[in-house]
A and B are shown apart, each in its own frame.
Chain A
Amino acid sequence: MTDNNVAKSDLSVQLGRLTLANPILVASGTFGYAREMERLVDLSRLGGILPKTITKAPRAGNHPWRTIETSAGLLNSIGLDNDGIDAFIAHHLPYLASLSTSVIVSIAGRSQDEFVELASRLSEEDGIAGLELNISCPNVTGGVDYGTDPTLCEKLVANVRESCRLPVIAKLTPNVTCIADIACAAAAGGADAVSLINTVLGMAIDWKRQRPMLGNVVGGLSGPAIKPVALRCVHQVARAVDIPIIGIGGISNIDDAMEFLVAGASAVQIGTANYYDPTVSMTILDQLPDALKQLGATRTDDIVRSLQLPEPVEPATVAPTA
C-alpha cells in the first residue's frame, strides 16, 4: 500500500465558480476574524473561512446578555457587532488574505443598495474567494426580508452578482414556510451556491424574574439542537435546486458532517461547535477520508446528494410549493 488513503482522497469541491480545497468550512460569526484561532487551528488546512459578518457602518451590537445556553443548543442575539467595512478592509482583510485558505466574506446590508455597495467594494480587494450574503440574521432590523421573500431574494442576488466579479453565496434562514422557494429564488438570481441554515428563532425566559434572558428578547438558536431542522432543510433544497448547497446547523463531529453531505450538501460549515470544541474542524477534517472510504468513495463529490429515499415518496413533503 502506498502512504495512506488520505493521499488518494480528493476532497476538493466546486461551488459554482468557487473551488475549495475541501468541504470543511467554518461559519461566519463563529470564528471571529480567524486571527483569534491561529494558535488552536491550522488555518491553512480549512476548506474555507467565513469571518464575522460585516456591515457598511460599524455596529456596537446588542445589549448583553448576548448568548444563553439551552438544552444541546445556544441562543444568541449578538446583533452583528462589527467595526464596519472600512475597518474590515484596513485591519482584518490583510491578515485573512495572507492565509493560504479561501476566504468568503459574509456581508449584511439593510437595503439592496447597501448589499450592492458592500459587494462592489469588496470586489476590488485582493484575497477574497467569494461573498456570502447574510440575508438571514434574526438579530437585526432590516436585511432579513431578502431571506424570506422570494421576489426580493432573487432581485438582490441578481443585483449583487451584476455589481461584483466574486462568486456569490446566499445564506438562508429556516424561519420561513418553505425554504426551497427561497433557494429557487436565489438560484434564479444567479447565486453560485446557497448556504443553510442560519439560526432558528427562539427565546429563553427567567420565570422567577419574569423577564427574557437575552438582551434583545429573542435570538437565534444554534448547536446540536437544530441539526435535524438543518438536515431537513438541506434535503428539501437539494430536491428543489441544482446549485451547490453548503450545509450548516449543529455540526460537531464527522458523523454530522457526513449526514449533511449525503443529504445534499457539497460542503459544510462548522459553527457553534467552534465555541465548545475549538479544534473540532481539524478533527472532522482528519476523519473525513476514512468516512468517505466507508462509503467506498475517495472524492467528496461521490457522496454528495447520495441519499436514498424509500419508495414511494410523497411529493407534498419534499417538493417546493412554487
Chain B
Amino acid sequence: MSNPLHAKFYADQATQSSVEVVENLEMARDTYRVRFRCPEIAARALPGQFVMLRLANYDDPLIGRPLAVYDVLQSQAGEPESIDVLYLVKGKLTTRLVNFQPGQRLDVWGPLGNGFEPIATSHLVMVAGGIGQTPFVCLAKEYLGLQSFGTPAREPARSKRVTLCYGGRSAELLAGVEDFKQLGVDVRIATDDGSLGHHGLVTDVLSRVLAESEQECQVVCCGPEPMMEAVAKVTANADVPCRVSLETPMACGIGICFTCVAKVRDDSGEWDYKRTCVDGPVFDAELIEW
C-alpha cells in the first residue's frame, strides 16, 4: 500500500457470519478445539491469520476473542468448509464456550490479520509456548506442500524440513502434538516440570535445533511475550531470521479500537504503537520493542 499510515493489512477478506458448531472437543487439560462451518472464511483463511469469535446475543461476555485459525477443513468435494480453533479455558467466554454443542451458533468474523507471508527456507523452525502452537498447523501444511490456502490459492513457500519446538508447563497441557506429527513435523517438546521431553525451557530446545541444523533456517514463534523475547534473542545471536506472532489482547480484531497496540520500530529505529490486528499479528522479531 502506498499510504505509509495505512496498515499493511486490513480486514479486506473478512466477513461476519453466524456459524454452526460442528464439534467441540477436549484436546488437553483446559484446552478445547471447536470446529464450525464457515465456507466463506475457510476459503480465504491464510496460515497465521485469526478470527474473532463471540457468543451471539450475550451481553456478558460482550466482546469477541481473537483465536488463531488452527486448521482449515475441506468437504468431501475438496472445498474449504470449516475451521478449527483451539482455545484455553480461562475466562467468561471460554468457560461458556466449553458447553456449546453441535448445532449451536457462534458469531465469527474473519479471516483477520496479516498471517505469515510465504518465505521459502530449507528448514522452517516453529517455536510455540503455551497455546502458541495454534497458528502452526496450517503453516506446516503449506510449507510441506500438503494443503494450499486462500482463494485463489496463494503461491506457497516450501520447506524440506519443518520442526516444532513446543514448550509448556506440563505434558497434560500440550495440545495437538499428534496433529503435527501426522503432518511429518519433527516435534521437540520442553516442559517446565520435566513431565515430557526436555526438562526446561523451549529456548534450550531451539538452540539445539539451530546448532544441529546444517541447513539455512527460518524461525517463526508464538507464545507468551517473555518467551518470544527470549526466542528473539536466541535467533538474533544465531543470525537466523525470526518472525513472531503477537498474542496482544484485542477488542475488535479489525483495526477500529486501537486496543491491541505493540511497540514496533520503523526504519529509523523509532518505535510507534502499531495495531497487532491490522499491522500484525506477525512481525519481524527485530522490529519489536519488547
Report A's interface with B, CB cutoff 8 A: 29-32, 35-40, 52, 60-61, 64-67, 69, 71-74, 76, 78, 81, 83, 87, 91-92, 223-224, 272, 274-279
Is the pair A87, B5 in contact by a Cβ cutoff of 8 Å? yes
Q: How distant is the Cα of A21 from the Cα of B258 in the complex, in angstroms?
A: 29
Is the pair B10, A39 in contact by a Cβ cutoff of 8 Å? yes
Q: A residues within 8 A CB of B63? A: 69, 74, 275-276
Q: Which residue of A lies closest to B252 (CB)?
A: A275
Is the pair B278, A36 in contact by a Cβ cutoff of 8 Å? yes
Among B60, B107, B258, B273, contact of A52 (Cβ-Cβ < 8 Å): B258
Q: B residues within 8 A CB of A91? A: 3-6
Q: How distant is the Cα of A40 from the Cα of B4 in the complex, in angstroms?
A: 23
Q: A residues within 8 A CB of B61? A: 69
Q: Could you list 19 A-B pairs, sorted by A, with CB under 8 Å?
A: A30-B257, A36-B10, A36-B11, A38-B12, A39-B13, A39-B14, A40-B254, A60-B272, A64-B249, A64-B261, A65-B249, A69-B92, A81-B273, A92-B5, A224-B62, A272-B62, A274-B256, A277-B16, A278-B254
A67 smallest CB distance to B (angstroms):
4
- Contact A38 to B252, CB < 8 A, known contacts A66-B261, A91-B5, A276-B63: no
B77 smallest CB distance to A (angstroms):
27
Is the pair B107, A32 in contact by a Cβ cutoff of 8 Å? no
Q: How distant is the Cα of A277 from the Cα of B58 in the complex, in angstroms?
A: 11
Among B3, B7, B273, contact of A60 (Cβ-Cβ < 8 Å): B273
Q: Which residue of B lies closest to A252 (CB)?
A: B59
Q: How distant is the Cα of A224 from the Cα of B6 in the complex, in angstroms?
A: 31
Q: How many residues of B contact A (CB 8 A)?
A: 36
A134 smallest CB distance to B (angstroms):
15
- Contact A276 to B62, CB < 8 A, known contacts A31-B256, A36-B255, A61-B258: yes
| B interface SS class | loop
Q: How distant is the Cα of A278 from the Cα of B16 in the complex, in angstroms?
A: 7
B97 within 8 A of A: no
Among A36, A61, A87, contact of B261 (Cβ-Cβ < 8 Å): A61
Q: How distant is the Cα of A37 from the Cα of B64 in the complex, in angstroms?
A: 17
126-165 of chain B: CB within 8 A of chain A: none
Q: How distant is the Cα of A174 from the Cα of B16 in the complex, in angstroms?
A: 33
- Contact A78 to B62, CB < 8 A, known contacts A37-B254, A60-B273, A64-B248: no
A49 smallest CB distance to B (angstroms):
11
A247 smallest CB distance to B (angstroms):
19
B265 smallest CB distance to A (angstroms):
13
- Contact A69 to B256, CB < 8 A, known contacts A38-B10, A64-B261: no
Q: B residues within 8 A CB of A29? A: 257-258
- Contact A78 to B11, CB < 8 A, known contacts A60-B273, A72-B62: no
**What 17 additional pairs, Cβ within 8 angstroms, besides A30-B257, A224-B59, A277-B54?**
A37-B254, A38-B10, A39-B13, A64-B248, A65-B259, A69-B61, A69-B63, A69-B92, A71-B60, A72-B59, A74-B63, A81-B261, A87-B5, A91-B5, A91-B6, A275-B256, A277-B16
Is the pair B109, A73 in contact by a Cβ cutoff of 8 Å? no
38-68 of chain B: CB within 8 A of chain A: 54, 59-64
Q: How distant is the Cα of A35 from the Cα of B258 in the complex, in angstroms?
A: 14
55-104 of chain B: CB within 8 A of chain A: 59-64, 92
A61 smallest CB distance to B (angstroms):
6
Give 6 closest A-B pairs by Cβ, nearest first: A36-B255, A275-B252, A32-B256, A72-B59, A67-B259, A91-B5
Q: A residues within 8 A CB of B248? A: 64
